[in-house]
Amino acid sequence: MTVTRTESALVDDLLDGKHRALARVITKIENRSPGYREIVSALHAHTGAADVIGITGSPGAGKSTLVDKLAKAYRDRGDTVGVIAVDPSSPYTGGAVLGDRIRMASNVGDMDVFFRSMSARGTLGGLSTATSDTVKALDAFGKDTVIIETVGAGQNEVDIVKTADTVCVLVQPGSGDDVQMLKAGILEIGDVFVVNKADMDGAERTVAELEEMIHMRENPAAGLNTGHHGPVDEEEMAQVAIDDADEATWDPEVVETVATDATGVEELIDTLDDHAAWLRETGRIDNKARTRYAEEIRQLVRSDTAALLEEVIEARGGIDALADDVLAKETDPYTVADELVAPVRECVDEELER
């Protein structure tokens, strides 16, 4: 991609650690302004050093407060921090509904904590391409740790695993609904589970339930009643255990915190550090990056192709005109789709024949 002189200067300023340039780049990314793709492309070679942590969980679990205290604890040990708070999208403007709220009270005035509230833009998992591009900008800027706080919309939050290296799932004490929700999907993506507000009644029970569920996740055969199928072959199970041991695995941990007074935050950071170290030592960090880039390429190709097809639709009179033709039984949706895609298909066929 060709980078203009203005974009090149902006990239240079960001890489030189100028916060104003970082803010301008992220604004361009979020607004999808002309030149943002060239900027992100230019930054790519400078990424890969930051630890990217995703914080997710149901609304009310205390994510914002915990992120605030995490950022302060990282700063206390000398690390620089970038925080992306993904908020629900406004149905009218597409912007973050809660974007103006004050959420980083412990870090006000600290230039080494860069906070940005971003819109989820209606994506199913509460994340958008703009979020991952912003992570790249913060990484290239030199932030040691980037924290993504997600909307908290239940199991749809599984999209966080495509962006973060370490996924931290918050659960409230004594909330059976939260634990049941984990069974529906989020349990599979968590690297660390946090029972926040651990000073409340029911915290010990919630910890026990989570640990049991994690044990079942790691060993699905645990506690199964084999019934008329007969007893489990002990030699076979022993071999499975050996095979599992040969493949490096991370056993999710459960940490208790009280975010309001930072209780347990240091222990949580130690656990997050342990997971980051495990990713590097086992080479899983490269696997995660490869998977992330593959998904990003697919998403960009889908998006760009859809944009091209929108131009074809407009050239054919617009989607309403096409829908009217279908309504009048002059054609059908499949035929319309085939006709719209035909130019793209011809180009692809020509490319493949070369």
pLDDT digits (tens, 9 = 90+) for 47-76: 999 999 999 887 788 899 999 999 999 999
Of 143, 245, 288, 256, the residue nearest 192 (C-alpha): 256
- pLDDT score at 246: 45
Interstrand relation of 192-195 and 145-149 (parallel, antiparallel or unpaired) = unpaired
- Model confidence, pTM: 0.83
How confident is the model over 313-337, as a mean pLDDT? 96
pLDDT at 268: 97
- % of the chain surpassing 70 pLDDT: 77
d(CA 110, CA 189) in angstroms, rounded, equals 32
Q: What pLDDT is stored for residue 299 in this prediction?
A: 87
Mean pLDDT, rounded, for 317-345:
96
> 328 or 233, which is more confident?
328
Q: Residue 279: what pLDDT?
A: 96
Amino acid at 81: V
Report for 192-201, 204-213, 287-296, 327-336: range of highest mean pLDDT: 327-336
Place 244 in a pLDDT band, splitting at 50, 70 and 90: very low
Mean pLDDT on 179-194: 75
Question: How far is Cα 287 from Cα 46, in angstroms, rounded to an integer?
Answer: 19
Residue 241's pLDDT band (cuts 50, 70, 90):
very low
Q: What is the mean pLDDT of the chain?
A: 83
pLDDT in tens, 258-298: 999 999 999 999 999 999 999 999 999 999 999 999 989 99
pLDDT of 112 over the 80 cut: yes
How far apart CA 354 and CA 352 sit, in angstroms, is: 6
pLDDT band at residue 227 using 50, 70 and 90 as cut-offs? very low
- The predicted pLDDT at position 218 comes to 65
Predicted pLDDT of residue 120: 59
Task: State the span(s) of the chain assigned CATH 3.40.50.300.
Answer: 48-221+235-282
Question: 234: which 2 tokens?
Answer: 């002990």
Confidence of residue 86 (pLDDT cuts 50, 70, 90): confident
Token digits of residue 122: 């209606």
pLDDT at 88: 60
Mean pLDDT in residue range 242-254:
69
Mean of the pLDDT values across residues 297-322? 93
Confidence class for position 152, pLDDT limits 50, 70, 90: low
Place 101 in a pLDDT band, splitting at 50, 70 and 90.
very low
Class of domain 48-221+235-282: alpha beta
* Predicted pLDDT of residue 220: 58
Report whether pLDDT(124) > 70. no
- When pLDDT is cut at 50, 70 and 90, the band that residue 108 belongs to is low
| Percentage of the chain lying above the pLDDT 90 cut | 56
> Cα–Cα distance between 96 and 86 in angstroms, integer?
8
